Structure 1
Amino acid sequence: MNNNQEQLVEKRVTYSLELNGKFILIENVPARINEEAGEQFFAPSTVMLLQQIILDGQEPKRVIQTPVYNYAT
């Protein structure tokens, strides 16, 4: 086992995605997290279910408003 695998921790995360100008959140997604780097890794079956949820247009559990700011330089 290499060091990267030893640093992965099983957690539930919120998966976020912007699709067609809409911001989508999916809560309680199982992931393996590299806590040092903050990277999230998803099993192939999890990715397939995420795609199914998004593409099937399932009714969301709830809808939230999200503020949008412009980063001005």
Structure 2
Amino acid sequence: MPGESEEAFVEQKVTYSLEVEGRFIVIEQVPARVSLRTGERFFAPETVERLQEIVWGQRVPDRVIQTPVYEFPNAVA
């Protein structure tokens, strides 16, 4: 069908999170193209470079949050 393989994207600010060397890092307001169908996020090369600078840099965070941690096998109700 025409247009079936075309996917719609929207430009959004997203929250990017990852774990590096036992530290959980959250970066807010990251520009991304987000698939409306799957929710998959795509980042421009410049954005990826900036994310790497933030993660590996020694900059003081804007704020620090506390979050609960669960291990999946132990989280059974």
Superposition TM-score, scaled by structure 1 size? 0.89
Partner AA of 1:44 in structure 2: P
Residue 14 of structure 1 corresponds to 15
Q: Secondary structure at 2:72's aligned position in 1? A: coil
**Unmatched 5+ residue regions in structure 1?**
none
Equivalent residue, structure 1, for 2:24: 23
The list of structure 1 runs, each at least 4 consecutive aligned residues, that deviate by more than 4 angstroms after superposition, is none
Q: Percent identity of the aligned residues? A: 52
Number of equivalenced pairs: 71
Report the residue type matching 2:11 in the other structure. E
Q: Point out where structure 2 has 5 or more consecutive residues left out of the alignment.
A: none
- Displacement of 1:39 in angstroms is 0.2
How far apart in 2 are the matches of 1:56 and 1:70? 29
CA RMSD of aligned residues (A): 1.6
Query: TM-score, normalised on structure 2?
Result: 0.85
